[in-house]
Amino acid sequence: MRRKLLLGNWKMNKTSAEAKQFALDTKELVELASKNNIDIGVAPTYLSLAAVKENADKRMIVAAQNCHFKESGAFTGEISIPMLLEFGIDWVLIGHSERRAYDNETNLKCHDKIQALLANNMVPVYCVGETLAEFDAGRTKEVVSRQIKEGLEGFSAEQVKRLVVAYEPVWSIGTGKNASTEIAQDVCGFIRELLREQFGAVADEIRILYGGSVKPENIKAYLSCPDIDGGLVGGASLKRESYEGLLTNIL
């Protein structure tokens, strides 16, 4: 039985003081999630990770939005895995479409980051999804298949048990144009089949999230799909009220 997972992606939003306040204000929501066997968390900016980690309920998942695959070195502006672990951060988003679009994050780069995270017993949340042009050209499964195969090549079934995959069609992120539940389930089911081909039965243990304009009003429909285990949520995770709505609507 896969536990439901609700993860907020704050992108480049919230100062450290605002992030701390959110962490304090959501303690009872984390308690509620935990009582209902739901994992709940947020991915703040690097500068707010410590504030959230120190002030949130201890069961709150606190994820970084990126990391470098090398432990240290001449990589100006980057943050390494040991630096995250020093603050108790062991979840990291990898390959978010904004990083793929603006920071040249390729499947191979994602692969190296996931490899480094798995070697450190951390949880990568590997984001995949097609652009609008690819969707319109009917290439969704071809694109997602390449992202899964190249991003996860060579790992063992034991290693990928901890992995979370997030299917986020790029055309639905921050646009208010969410994918229908039929599309979301079709692609998430396809991803599970790819994981089964690549890793065997462990595919049934890997959590697959849908992301893209998820809101309190539509989250329940996504989570009622057999292959969707949770949501990766941007805009609607920023305010306590809508974050609460996302949770209470899937209890």
Give dist(CA 216, CA 70) in Å, integer.
38
Stretch that binds ligand PEP, among 26-34, 58-66, 191-199, 234-242 (CB under 6 A): 234-242
User: Rule CB under 6 A: is residue 95 a binding residue for ligand PEP?
Assistant: no
Residue 105, φ and ψ in degrees, nearest 5: -80, 105
Q: Active site residue: 96, 111, 130, 134, which one?
A: 96
Task: Encode burial over 144-177: b for 16+ CB neighbours within 10 A, e otherwise.
Answer: bbebbeebbeebeeebbebbbbbbbbbbbbeeee
User: Rule CB under 6 A: is residue 212 a binding residue for ligand PEP?
Assistant: yes
Q: Is 104 exposed, middle or buried (0-12, 13-18, 19+ CB in 10 A)?
A: exposed
How many angstroms separate the Cα of 98 from the Cα of each of 11, 56, 130, 146, 214?
A: 9, 27, 12, 18, 17
Upper half-sphere CA count for residue 123 (Cβ side, 13 Å): 20
Please list every residue from 152 through 181 that binds ligand PEP, using CB under 6 A.
168, 173-174
Cβ nearer to ligand PEP, comparing 41 with 235: 235
Sequence-distant (≥ 6) Cβ neighbours of residue 77 within 8 angstroms: none
Which amino acid belongs to residue 93?
L
Among 67, 179, 209, 233, binds ligand PEP (CB under 6 A): 233
Stretch that binds ligand PEP, among 53-61, 113-121, 129-137, 209-217 (CB under 6 A): 209-217
Cβ nearer to ligand PEP, comparing 127 with 203: 127
User: Rule CB under 6 A: is residue 56 a binding residue for ligand PEP?
Assistant: no
Catalytic site includes residue 182? no
Cβ nearer to ligand PEP, comparing 9 with 107: 9
Bridge-partner residues for 208, per DSSP?
A: 165
DSSP class of 227: T
Binding mask 127-146 for ligand PEP (x = CB under 6 A): --------------------
Q: Active site residue: 98, 130, 134, 168, which one?
A: 168
Among 125, 213, 228, 229, binds ligand PEP (CB under 6 A): 213
Tokens representing residue 192 in the block? 């599970």
Catalytic site includes residue 168? yes
Least distance from C-beta 222 to ligand PEP, angstroms?
12
Cβ nearer to ligand PEP, comparing 174 with 200: 174
Read out DSSP for 55-67? Answer: HS-TTSEEEES--
**Which spans of this chain sit near ligand PEP (rule: CB under 6 A)?**
9, 11, 168, 173-174, 211-214, 232-236
